[in-house]
Structures are given as C-alpha cells and as structure tokens.
Amino acid sequence: MNNDNSIAALAGQSALITGGSEGIGLGIAEAMVRAGADVMIAARRRPQLEAAQQQLRALAQDGQRVEIVEVDIRQPDSVAAMFDAVDTEFGNLNILVANAGSGSMVPFLEMTEEIWQSTLDLNLNGTFRCCHQAATRMATRPDPTRNAAILVVSSIRALGARPGTIHYSTTKAGLNQFVRVAAYELASVGVRVNALSPGITATPMSIERNPETLAKMAATVPLGRPGSLADMGAAAVYLTSPAAGFVTGVNHIVDGGESLY
C-alpha cells in the first residue's frame, strides 16, 4: 500500500490511539498525522508520551492537533478519564485505534494465574473498555453520516499455534471474534469495526534488542522481510478512513504472507 495514497485521507478527522507512544501504535499515529487527522495518543508513561508528541508535532500541519493523555486501560476509571479528555479536546471522535496490549513467551506448564489474568485484563478487557466507550460516543454523534471507525490491533498469532503464546494468542483470538460481533451490532448506527493483524514487524525495540532474531524470523516471511511501521500505518489509515466506508467486520492481515504456512 503506497503511503502517498493516504495523504489527506483523514483530513478533518479526530483519532484516539491507545498504546500510541511507541512501536506499532506510534507508527499508526505518525501515518494518521501525515493523513491529516487530529490525533491523541494514550499510554501509561508520560515521558514516552511527551517524546512521541514532539515527534508527531514535527510532522503536523498548521492547525493540526497532537495531544497526549496518560491511561492504564486495565483500570475502568482511567479509561473513563481518557475519554473525558477526548471529549474536552476534540468534542467529536471519529476514530479509535485500540492498540494497547502486550505479550510474552511463557510455556504452558510455566503459566501462572497472575500472568494469565494480567494478559486478559490488558489485551481483552482493556480493549473492550476502550471500544465500548468509543462506540457509545460514536453511536450518538449528531451527524450519523460522519466517519466513525474502530480499529482493533490483533495479531496473526491468533490464527496459528506456536509454543509459549497461549495467553497472548487466546486474547487476540478473542479480539477477532469481538470485532466480528461488534461490527454486526454497530452497523445499524453507522459505526465500523475492523481488526488489523500484523505479522513480524520491525519496531525500534525489536531492532535494538535482538536484530539477529528479527532477521532470522523475517527470513521465513514469504515476501522476504519483516513488516514496517509504515506498512501498519498505511493499512490503519485505509481501514479507518471514509475510503473504507463499506468495510466492516474484517480482519486485515498485514504479514507478508507469514500466516500462509
């Protein structure tokens, strides 16, 4: 997908991106700023948020807004406060990218109740809280013809079975079905809900921490490379833009063919 095609695709839109201070979330935020959206990024750590805000504001046009808000999506009160900030800063919300989440490699026989529950609370329950708050606002917006899109960041790990990922894969598989049911229910009020499932992605963290492992994994991808942040951003811009106005309930896989085997 050519990034040039997304220029001004989101002009006049407002977007909230959770987990937007780094990695794929920041890549999506950058693409949305380039596409003309007013963007609010949310995450737990303020120093990273402020650094990301500075980076994104350098890309913004005159009058284009980039705001930040601290949130822990595991806490209902924190999620409510985040949406209060959205209401105050933007008034209207067109786009939610529910990206916040995490995972780790833990063999099944070493899984603990704490790790299992923590992953569910963040990846599944936290995403539900954000989507429910966003959908409630979008369903009652003054102009129901305006763009209203929710994008849930899932993973191709929900599609296959790999050792050590049972907690992460289970939550992402749950999100895929969550997207389908929510898309069906919210279609009647003009709110679209889709999933984006990245494969191996070259994030600054993965490149810095273990470039050898990244290169080894990327060599197994049919297209011969890992995904880039620009790949994920371009897909996110399309799925949340008016150009995808007849697209809902899909799981858009961006993995270079990795999930084909």
For 172-192, the pLDDT digits (tens) are 999 999 999 999 999 999 999
Which amino acid does the sequence have at 192? R
261 catalytic? Reply is no
Strands 192-198 and 251-254: parallel
**How would residue 213 be classed by pLDDT, with cut points 50, 70 and 90?**
confident
Residue 125: other Cβ atoms inside 10 A: 16
Which residue ranges form the domains of the chain, and what is each CATH number?
10-253 (3.40.50.720)
3 state DSSP class of 239:
helix
Judged against a pLDDT cut of 60, whether residue 4 lies above it is answered with: no
| Helices (runs of H) and strands (runs of E) counted in the chain | 9, 7
For the chain, percent of residues with pLDDT exceeding 90: 86
Candidate list 168, 184, 238, 261, residue with the active-site label: 168
Tokens encoding 59: 């890309």
- Confirm if 52 and 20 have CB atoms less than 8 A apart: yes
- Give the total residue count for the chain: 261
What is the rounded CA–CA span in Å between residue 84 and residue 223? 43
- pLDDT at residue number 153: 98
- Grade residue 6 by pLDDT with cuts at 50, 70 and 90: low
Give the pLDDT of residue 204: 84
Higher pLDDT, 103 or 128: 128
